[in-house]
Amino acid sequence: MNGFGRFIPLLIVVVLVGVFLSAMMSDRNPKEIKSVMIGKPVPTFEIPNLFDDQPALTDARLRSGKPVIVNFFASWCLPCRAEHENLVTLASGYTVDVIGIAYKDDPEASRDFLDELGNPYAAAGVDRDGRLAIDWGVSGVPETFFIDGEGVIRYRHWGPIVGDSLRVQLLPQLEELQ
Amino acid sequence: MLRWFGSILVAVTLSITAFAVAVDDKPLKDPVKEAMARALMKEIRCLVCQNQSIEDSNADLARDLRQIVRERISLGDSPDNVRAYLVDRYGDWVLLEPPVNTSTYLLWGSPFLLLLLVAYGVMRSRREQAGPAPLSSEEQEKLNAILREGDGK
């Protein structure tokens, strides 16, 4: 009991303090749900195009050989409005196609939303009942996925792309993908 | 009489709002399957409110998930299959009771760890209470000699 044994309680306290401190100092968002879809192929789907004169959106569009970004959005979603400018920047400045999926939104309202704020999407589909989003493990809009040319999900951004997250998180991921 | 009538009115109004939540949730016709689905819903975490099950959450996504649970159960899926379907998409987090695996050993093991620590503490304090060990026969002899010397004075 003498010698090393008496330091065991102290050791336990030091380890616990270390664990709690590291958890408190990290900038992780405890509400964020980690995606289990990373590294998995995108689910197969076929949904109507947001624009009637264009063909239906299918998962084949995400397997074109070139990386694409898939963004779940809705016109009723305020954070989507907040991140929209960054999506326009992504689509116009970085030679990558951004595909929009309107989540549980009236197509008319989605189109008005894009008319008002600009349309960054190379293609956009309508997920009227939100079933496709559930297949992607989406828990709420906006969520943004990076897909490699083979249709495998490589990265997921949870919540709106605001603040420095475009520069700090998304652009490095995009560079890695390309 | 009027007060009595008033309280009935209040009760009826309140129960109408209580029903409003569940109105667009259509229970399954087969009561056995409905019970199975309901039991499963209690185990599934609402991903929007996070600390509620989808069974008692009003979130839009929770309602969609309830619908999926009912759909799959009515098509003959076992609760295990439905659970696997949801874990495939949302990870273990979607289950309110975390499964035992490498990332949750510490979580499940911590009560036992705590028990061990308490046992260790109890053992130590008992040893301290027992006081010093009894004298060996040699020491006793020495003590007796000292005491005798004192008597002799």
ipTM: 0.80
Phi, psi of B12, deg, nearest 5: -65, -45
How high is the pLDDT of residue A63? 92
Q: Is the pLDDT confidence value at A60 over 70?
A: yes
Q: Sign of the CA dihedral B19, B25, B31, B35?
A: negative
Phi, psi of A69, deg, nearest 5: -115, 130
Alpha-helix residue ranges (DSSP H) falling in chain A: 8-25, 78-93, 107-117, 131-135, 165, 171-177
Model confidence pLDDT, tens digit, residues B5-56: 666 666 655 555 444 444 468 889 899 999 999 999 999 999 888 889 999 8
Q: Which residues of A touch B65 (CB under 8 A)?
A: 134
Q: Which residues of B touch A10 (CB under 8 A)?
A: none
Q: Is the pLDDT confidence value at A97 over 80?
A: yes
How high is the pLDDT of residue B21? 47
How high is the pLDDT of residue B64? 93
Secondary structure (DSSP) of B48-83? TTSSSBGGG---HHHHHHHHHHHHHHHTT--HHHHH
Instruction: Give, as one character, the DSSP assignment of residue B44.
Output: B
Structure tokens at B20: 């409003």
How high is the pLDDT of residue A23? 84
Q: Is the pLDDT confidence value at A176 over 50?
A: yes
> Tokens 């956009």 — which residue?
A124
Q: Least CA distance to B65: which residue of chain A?
A: A134
Model confidence pLDDT, tens digit, residues A33-54: 788 999 999 999 999 999 999 9
Q: Which residues of A touch B68 (CB under 8 A)?
A: 134
Classify strands A68-73 and A97-103 as parallel, antiparallel or unpaired: parallel
Model confidence pLDDT, tens digit, residues B75-104: 999 999 999 999 999 999 899 988 888 878
Put simply, the answer to whether A129 touches B64 (Cβ < 8 Å) is: yes
Q: Give how far A162 is from chain B: nearest CA, Å.
A: 20
How high is the pLDDT of residue B19? 46
B-proximal residues of A, 90-119, CB under 8 Å = 104
Q: Whole-model pTM? A: 0.75
Query: Could you tell me which residues are beta bridge partners of residue A147?
Result: A68, A153
Q: Is the pLDDT confidence value at B138 over 50?
A: yes
Closest alpha carbon to B90 in A133, A70, A36: A36
How high is the pLDDT of residue A30? 74
Q: Give how far B6 is from chain A: nearest CA, Å.
A: 40
Count CB atoms within 10 A of the CB of residue A30: 7
Instruction: Give, as one character, the DSSP assignment of residue A39.
Output: T
The SS3 of residue B21 is helix
Q: At what angle do helices B60-74 and B31-41 cross, to 10 degrees?
A: 140
B-proximal residues of A, 130-169, CB under 8 Å = 130-131, 134-137, 139-140
Q: Least CA distance to B92: which residue of chain A?
A: A36
How high is the pLDDT of residue B88? 93
Structure tokens at B147: 């005491």
The more confidently predicted of residues A109 and B1 is A109
Structure tokens at B129: 């209470």
* Mean pLDDT along residues A147-174: 91
Q: Give how far B17 is from chain A: nearest CA, Å.
A: 25
How high is the pLDDT of residue A103? 96
